[in-house]
């Protein structure tokens, strides 16, 4: 007797759901909460949240928090980091005397942002069958870069939520709200600033004006409270742009410039180093970076320009969300969570078009960027006991996630092009 295909499909989906839920529970809930409740008040901690809480200007007036901050060796009472919206978001948490409790509250807040983001995505793909909606949720929960984003209390989950919320509002022609939301996201950690160009190309001038005004107001407010001249991130960014020798080859950075520098510049295979003074950019690395980044930026915006009257906003948001971190000077591996916007709408269009070859590219890209780090069998091959290399360092150092993200971007652009021909 032949086995019904639907039965096989639902059985596979059930297995995937079990794997996704177990992975998310273990790495996305258990590990982050254990880190939160076990942290010491005096421990040195990294991540975006701990780079902004307690906000530096609050430290000056709160002696109890001043003694507990873990960024005083960065700021020395003067410098501040990231975007001002991060400081604004963490400001209410200064009412708690325990840094441990404040970190746990922020972790729960990130779960809320994540849940709202998935809910909005499902609202925008409401005509998908229930099985594919479940598959999409599984793809989100099993996505490996999401786990360090939760564990390290970063701001990118908030940014991801704001980007998806902006898209949802734009689809409903709430342009002013959509632009304002993206302005807040851009002032959290700058990457979404690229949507200003997108709004101009699309002729969504209300969204552009709202985003520009929001950014301007926040920048002025930050100048009077924090002072942009004291922003460490801005100083480093300017230094990187001007430097002909500086190379950011840290293995966690999965952007195209970092991947090229690891490929063409001399680097040490040392996982605990962030900056490599000896990893000077070679001439070929500099030119390869300019060509690759220029080609992607030009290709994306020219594609959108020729289809500026199209209503495929979701696909365009997915394309830009992937491209914006790929062309960044450097980043962290949790920047890959922005790809989830692309994966969601790629899955939607692949189902609608019955695009089998595209489905194979989709699966390969997702495996490389979102799941390969969880396959423990690689540990036996990499012999971590003798070489000190683990699968996380190995695959990131060889830029596997970067190439997987480039595959996704190519797939999204291909779908975008095929939609033009219909």
Of the given ranges (270-284, 373-387, 392-406), which has the lowest mean pLDDT? 270-284
131 and 259 both lie in a single domain: no
367 and 300 both lie in a single domain: yes
**286 neighbors 362 (Cβ within 8 angstroms):** no
pLDDT for the residue numbered 81 = 77
Q: How do residues 28-59 score in pLDDT, each as one tens digit?
A: 999 888 887 776 655 555 667 766 766 555 55
Q: Is residue 397 part of a domain?
A: yes
Is 344 a residue whose pLDDT tops 80?
yes
Q: Among the three residues 182, 197, 230, which one is the final residue of a domain in this structure?
A: 230
pLDDT for the residue numbered 337 = 96
10 and 62 both lie in a single domain: yes
118 and 250 both lie in a single domain: no
pLDDT for the residue numbered 375 = 75
Q: How do residues 367-395 score in pLDDT, each as one tens digit?
A: 999 888 777 666 666 655 545 567 777 78
Q: Is residue 239 part of a domain?
A: no
Residue 256 lies in domain? 244-422
Q: SS3 for the chain, per residue?
A: CCCCHHHHHHHHHHHHHHHHHHHHHHHHHHHHHHHHHHCCCCCCCCCCHHHCCCCHHHHCCCHHHHCCCCCHHHHCCCCECCCHHHHHHHHHHHHCCCHHHHHHHHHHHHHHHHHHHHHHHHHHCCCCCHHHHHHHHHHHHCCCCHHHHHHCCCCHHHHHHHHHHHHHHHHCCCHHHHHHHHHHHHHHHCHHHHHHHHHHHHCCHHHHHHHHHHHHHHHHHHHHHCCHHHEHHHHHHHHHHHCCCCCCCCCCCCCHHHHHHHHHCCCCCCCCCCCCCCCCCCHHHHHHHHHHHHHHHHHHHHHHHHCCCCCCHHHHHHHHHHHHHHCCCCCCHHHHHHHHHHHHHHHHHHHHHCCHHHHHHHHHHHHHHHHHHHCCHHHHHHCHHHHCCCHHHHHHHCCHHHHHHHHHHHHHHHHHHHHHHC
226 and 289 both lie in a single domain: no
Is 210 a residue whose pLDDT tops 90?
yes
pLDDT for the residue numbered 278 = 43
pLDDT band at 249, cuts 50/70/90?
A: confident
Share of the chain above pLDDT 90, in %: 43
Is 274 a residue whose pLDDT tops 50?
no
264 and 334 both lie in a single domain: yes
Which string of b and e fits 332-346 if b means at least 16 CB within 10 Å?
A: bbbbbbbbbbbbbbb
Mean pLDDT within 321-347: 93
**81 neighbors 46 (Cβ within 8 angstroms):** no
Is 422 a residue whose pLDDT tops 70?
no
Q: Among the three residues 168, 197, 230, which one is the final residue of a domain in this structure?
A: 230
Is 214 a residue whose pLDDT tops 50?
yes
Q: Is residue 310 part of a domain?
A: yes
What six digits make up the tokens of 50?
Answer: 């701990």
Of the given ranges (36-40, 140-144, 269-273, 350-354), which has the lowest mean pLDDT? 269-273
Of the given ranges (14-23, 60-69, 153-162, 276-285), which has the lowest mean pLDDT? 60-69
pLDDT for the residue numbered 263 = 83
Q: Is residue 200 part of a domain?
A: yes
Q: Is residue 236 part of a domain?
A: no
Q: Among the three residues 196, 230, 264, which one is the final residue of a domain in this structure?
A: 230
pLDDT for the residue numbered 380 = 64
Of the given ranges (112-116, 257-261, 265-269, 393-397), which has the lowest mean pLDDT? 265-269
Of the given ranges (6-15, 203-212, 407-416), which has the lowest mean pLDDT? 6-15
Q: Is residue 237 part of a domain?
A: no
Greater confidence (11 vs 113) lies with 113
pLDDT for the residue numbered 115 = 97
Greater confidence (7 vs 68) lies with 7
248 and 222 both lie in a single domain: no
214 and 276 both lie in a single domain: no
Q: How do residues 294-316 score in pLDDT, each as one tens digit?
A: 999 999 999 999 988 888 999 99
Number of domains in the chain: 2
**Top-ranked range on mean pLDDT: pick from 5-9, 148-152, 274-278, 343-347:** 343-347
25 and 159 both lie in a single domain: yes
pLDDT for the residue numbered 394 = 78
Q: Is residue 142 part of a domain?
A: yes
292 and 394 both lie in a single domain: yes
Is 170 a residue whose pLDDT tops 90?
yes
Answer yes or no: pTM beyond 0.85: yes
Greater confidence (318 vs 62) lies with 318
252 and 223 both lie in a single domain: no
Is 248 a residue whose pLDDT tops 80?
no
- According to DSSP, the residues that pair with 231 across neighbouring strands are 80
Is 405 a residue whose pLDDT tops 70?
yes
318 and 218 both lie in a single domain: no
Q: Is residue 280 part of a domain?
A: yes
Share of the chain above pLDDT 70, in %: 78
Mean pLDDT within 89-110: 81
Is 230 a residue whose pLDDT tops 80?
no
pLDDT for the residue numbered 38 = 76
Is 186 a residue whose pLDDT tops 70?
yes
CA pair distance 209, 225, nearest whole angstrom = 24
pLDDT for the residue numbered 63 = 56
- According to DSSP, the residues that pair with 80 across neighbouring strands are 231
């Amino acid at each position: 007797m032949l086995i019904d295909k639907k039965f096989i499909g639902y059985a596979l989906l059930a297995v995937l759901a079990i794997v996704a839920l177990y992975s998310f529970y273990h790495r996305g809930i258990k590990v982050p909460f254990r880190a939160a409740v076990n942290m010491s008040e005096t421990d040195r901690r990294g991540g975006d949240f701990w780079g902004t809480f307690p906000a530096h200007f609050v430290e000056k007036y709160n002696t109890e928090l001043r003694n507990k901050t873990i960024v005083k060796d960065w700021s020395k009472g003067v410098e501040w980091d990231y975007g001002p919206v991060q400081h604004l978001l963490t400001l209410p948490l200064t009412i708690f005397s325990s840094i441990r409790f404040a970190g746990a509250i922020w972790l729960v807040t990130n779960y809320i942002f994540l849940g709202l983001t998935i809910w909005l995505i499902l609202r925008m793909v409401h005509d998908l069958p229930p099985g594919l909606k479940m598959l999409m949720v599984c793809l989100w929960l099993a996505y490996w870069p999401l786990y360090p984003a939760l564990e390290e209390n970063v701001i990118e989950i908030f940014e991801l939520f704001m980007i998806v919320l902006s898209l949802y509002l734009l689809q409903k022609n709430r342009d002013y709200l959509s632009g304002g939301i993206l302005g807040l996201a851009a002032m959290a950690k700058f990457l979404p600033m690229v949507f200003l160009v997108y709004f101009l190309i699309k002729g969504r001038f209300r969204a552009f004006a709202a985003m520009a005004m929001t950014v301007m107001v926040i920048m002025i407010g930050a100048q009077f409270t924090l002072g942009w001249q004291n922003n460490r991130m801005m100083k480093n960014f300017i230094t990187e742009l001007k430097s002909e020798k500086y190379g950011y080859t840290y293995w966690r950075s999965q952007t195209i410039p970092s991947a090229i520098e690891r490929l063409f510049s001399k680097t040490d295979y040392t996982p605990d180093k962030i900056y490599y003074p000896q990893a000077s950019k070679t001439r070929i690395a500099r030119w390869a970076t300019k060509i690759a980044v220029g080609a992607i930026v030009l290709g994306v915006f020219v594609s959108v320009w020729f289809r500026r009257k199209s209503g495929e906003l979701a696909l365009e948001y997915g394309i830009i969300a992937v491209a914006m971190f790929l062309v960044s000077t450097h980043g962290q591996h949790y920047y890959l969570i922005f790809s989830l916007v692309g994966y969601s709408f790629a899955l939607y269009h692949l189902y609608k078009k019955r695009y089998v070859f595209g489905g194979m590219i989709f699966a390969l890209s997702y495996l490389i960027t979102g799941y390969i780090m969880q396959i423990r069998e690689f540990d036996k091959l990499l012999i971590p006991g003798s070489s000190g290399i683990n699968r996380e360092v190995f695959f990131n150092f060889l830029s596997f996630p970067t190439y997987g993200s480039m595959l996704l971007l190519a797939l999204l652009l291909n779908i975008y092009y095929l939609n033009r021909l219909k």
